[in-house]
Structures are given as C-alpha cells and as structure tokens.
Amino acid sequence: MTGRNEWAPSPWRWPGLLAAATMLGLLGALLGQHAAWLWMSWGLLVLPPIVVVAAVARAGRLARRRRAGHRGRGRKVEGGKGRRRGSSLPPAGGSSSRIGIEGG
Amino acid sequence: MSARAIRLWAWTHKWTSLVCTLFLLMLCVTGLPLIFHEEIDGWLNDDPPYAEAGPDAAPAPLAPMVAQAQDRYPAETVISVFIDDDEPRVLVSMAPSWDAFMDAPRSRHWLAFDAHTGALRQDPGPGGGSRSGFIPFMLRLHEDLFAGLWGALFLGAMGLVFLAALVSGTVLYAPFMRRLRFGTIRIGWSPRLPWLDLHTLIGAVALAWMAVVGFTGALNEISTPLFALWQRGDVQAIVAPWRGQAAPSHAEVISPDTALRTAHEAMPEMRVISLVYPGGRIGSPFHVMAWAKGDTPLTSRLFSPALIDARTGALTAVVRMPWYLRALEVSRPLHFGDYGGWPLRLIWAALDGLTILLLVSGLYLWLSRGPRAGVRPSNAAAAPGETAAPGHQAAE
C-alpha cells in the first residue's frame, strides 16, 4: 500500500453514510408515528437518486470543459482545476491500458 | 485483498449477476406500474361514485350482501368477505366450491357492494373482475411468471441470487474505488468507462435499498409455503378438538355480522378487515377466520387472526402469528413502498429506475467485453485499486 492510500479517505465513507441514511429512511416512515418521520424518510431516501444525478451532471460538465480545453480555449482548465478534481484524469490514474480496462 | 480473492469474488459477481439479470429486469419493469397501481386503477376505473355518507355513518350489515351474492350464484360457495379500509366497499368472494378454489385459486370471483348502503356495485362474474386488465397482468408476471407456486419460488430464488450479486459487488467496490474519488464518472475516454463508473456508483449508493427490496421480495415469494407451515402447525393444534366432527353446512354457518361482532369483542383495538368462511386452506373447516389489523403505521401491517366457531359464533382463539409470519408481514411494506404517501412512491420509482440502469449497464459491460478484457493476476496484485470493475473485467 502506498503512502497516498494510507491517508486517503476510506472508499466506504460515502456509500456507508448513504446506506445508513437509506435504512433510517426506510424504517423512519414505517415505525414513526408523526408526519415529521415521513418528511425525514423522504429526505433521506431521495439522497441516492440525487447523488447519481449530481455525479452524472458533474461528469458531463467536466467532459465539456475538457473538450473545450482540447479545442485550445481552455488550457488552464485542462491542466489546472479540472485536472485536480479527478474526473478529467485518464482512467484510474493512467494504468487502464496496462490492465485492459477498456475491454479491448 | 489478494489477486486470487479478487478473481474469486469477480467470478461470483459475474455469474450471479448474469443468472439473475433478465429476471430482475422483468421484476423492475413490472414493479414500476405496480408502485402506482392505485392511481392507474383509478384512471382505468369507470365505476360510479360511492354513496355520500358522513364520517360517523354506520356501515351496512354484511348478511344481506352475502345473501344477495348467494342468490346470484346459488350453486357456488362464499369464500370470504373483505371489508376494504381504503374505499367504502365490501367484496364478497365466491367460487364453485372450496375444492375448486384450492385446485385453481383463479376460479374465485367477487361481487362489490357499497359499504354504506349495501347496494351491489359490481359483479364481473366468473372469469371477470380482478383477473383481467393491465395491473393484474403485471402483478401476476411480477409475482409468479404465470406459473403459480413454482414460478413464485423460482423468482424468490432469483431474488437470493441477486443478493449474492450485491454482496460480491460490494466486496469488489473497495479495491476498485481505492484510487477514485466517490462519484467519479469518467466520460470521453472510452465508450465503456462511463457505464462502468455509473454501474459502480449506482451499486454503491442504492445498495441498501436494493438489498432490502430484494430480500423482502424473496421473502414474499415464499409466503405461501410459510402460511402452509403455520396452518399445519399452530392452527391444526387449535382445531384438534373439532377433528372428526362434520363440518358445518352453509346453512349452519353463522351470520357474517355475528362473526364480525365476536371478532371486534376479541380484538377491540384492531380493525377487522376480512372473514374467511370455513373450509379454507389457511384456516379451519369448523371456524370462520377473522383477520384484523391495527391502525398505526406499523400495526396496520400486522394481521392477527381469530377463530370463531362457525356454528355458535363463540370465540375459539385469537391465534398468535409465529415470528416468521410477523417478519413476512413487516417486510411487505418495505418491498412495496406504499407506506409513506405519494412522495415515497415517487422515490421508490426513482430507485427502481436506478436498479434498471444498474442491470442494463452491467449487461452492456458484459456484452461489450473484448478479447483484451482479461486481467493477469500480476497486474491485479500490483494495483488492485486500478482494476476497473473486477466483476466485469478481471473474471473475464
């Protein structure tokens, strides 16, 4: 394991939180006796779809930014902020071609 | 995780997913309209409105409704009386006989009465009513593939295979995501990569919901054998003193209003919703079985039966449901998503849509795999965090 991985946040942090929120949402409306439980349930259970929509929207935005960079209008974007954010990086740190990530 | 372990889990994920994907897709697609079955039924329903009645209006007696049903079908047997708690209606179910009903449950038909006036509202006749139409078609496909108990058991097994796919996918998540930020979807590098990331993301964010709905669905599919088990155990023990006696004839069976009154007295804090006449598969040949439920969000899912002597109308017993049937009852709303109003149903539909996307993306990743898809153990061992979707790559 590299030093970077030792200090990286656990990959389970967000999925774990979302799973806990989902379970709380599922049981809240079932066991709760008041409308507040319903609102809490709706608020927690809607998180997974929102996360997926937000991730797709973010990926689309970064891809557009990257394409704009390729056209020569956004060198700063290509090499700067977008690159730090991760989604403009080559797949999995550039090792995909070595392990056949794209499936031929 | 060692390269060998990753390969093993990837193999498990690939094959459990492949085995259940098409059936799960069918279940998700047919489940979508079932989430909104009340609304769809409402749109397709052209029944006349119910009679106006105040909130404290007394319900009409049940006996005239049952008598009217019997008059219309004198050669048939009354199976049950259902007192709807969603609409002011009473459904009287009939079948050619109990034996015919047990051999072919679909031989049952119903007559609908207005609960306030007792007037007959609908009589679709044998072969009509709830067995036809869009929602019943979707329901049967979803429940048992039109194959009865064996179809239900098969779909239950597919639900368990789906759970195995979720577990194996979860195990593979950490090695795959070690070097990727949560929620990353890489667009523009290859056609497969966004689908791979989307598949992983949906699996991670909707894991708990899919596991709960998959498990409760599998549990629902085995409800028939579970109820049969209970009937052969607890119920048979209660009716043992009556064994050897002649079952009451139809004329000897007490009025449904008497049975309802006895049930109310036995379970005063509960609402009686159905009376099953003597002779049923779940019940006794000597008793009317009254089913009641509570009125809180949780207890409204927990049904309790009472056995009422069919000749005398006396209470024989309020039967305690075993834990596995209680678990089944609690699991039902968690599968249907019908316990939190229309916003919850909309969220249920969105999560169902995500599951469809998960299945379609997984299928696409498998179908679009190429000759270079294999991963050498050395690579996987050297950089497990960089093996993209081991379930779709490493094991191929």
Contact between chains at B344 and A8 (C-beta distance less than 8 A) = no
Can you give the pLDDT at residue A3?
42
Q: Name the phi and psi angles at B293, rounded to 5.
A: -140, 165
Q: Which residue has the higher pLDDT, B214 or A67?
A: B214
pLDDT at residue B329 is higher than 90: no
Q: In whole numbers, what is the pLDDT of chain A averaged over residues?
A: 71
Can you tell me the ipTM of this complex?
0.80
Closest partner residue to A38 (CB to CB) among B173, B194, B341 is B341
Return d(Cα B154, Cα B275) in angstroms, integer.
31
Domain boundaries in chain A?
A: 13-69
> Of chain B residues 117-176, which have a CB less than 8 A from chain A?
173-174
Residue for token digits 């919850």?
Answer: B344
**What band does B190 get if pLDDT is binned at 50, 70 and 90?**
confident
Distance from the Cα of B354 to chain A's closest Cα (Å) equals 7
Mean pLDDT of B345-364: 96
Q: Are B117 and B110 in contact (CB under 8 A)?
A: no
Return d(Cα B98, Cα A31) in angstroms, integer.
38
Percent of chain B with pLDDT over 70: 91
Q: Which residue has the higher pLDDT, B383 or B86?
A: B86
Residues for chain B: how many in total?
396
Q: pLDDT digit string (tens) for B267-321?
A: 998 999 999 999 876 678 899 999 999 877 678 878 889 999 999 999 999 988 8
Beta bridge partners of B93: B80, B110
Closest partner residue to B373 (CB to CB) among A51, A54, A103 is A103
State the pTM of this model: 0.79
Return d(Cα B136, Cα B349) in angstroms, integer.
19
Can you give the pLDDT at residue B230?
84
Contact between chains at A103 and B177 (C-beta distance less than 8 A) = no
Q: Cα–chain-centroid distance for residue B369?
A: 36
Check CB contact of B249 with chain A, cutoff 8 Å: no
Q: pLDDT digit string (tens) for B222-279?
A: 988 888 888 788 888 888 888 778 888 888 999 999 999 999 999 998 999 999 999 8
Check CB contact of B48 with chain A, cutoff 8 Å: no
**What band does B129 get if pLDDT is binned at 50, 70 and 90?**
low
Return d(Cα B364, Cα B25) in angstroms, integer.
13
* Pairing between β-strand B120-122 and β-strand B109-114 as defined by DSSP bridges: antiparallel
Contact between chains at A60 and B187 (C-beta distance less than 8 A) = yes
Mutate to test the interface with A, among B167, B190, B201 (most CBs of A within 10 A): B201
Q: Are B338 and A33 in contact (CB under 8 A)?
A: no
**What band does B377 get if pLDDT is binned at 50, 70 and 90?**
very low
- Mean pLDDT lowest among A5-14, B22-31, B325-334: A5-14
Which chain B residues contact residue A38 at CB under 8 A? 340-341, 343-344
Closest partner residue to A59 (CB to CB) among B187, B374, B383 is B187
Check CB contact of B209 with chain A, cutoff 8 Å: yes
Q: In whole numbers, what is the pLDDT of chain B averaged over residues?
A: 86
Percent of chain B with pLDDT over 90: 54
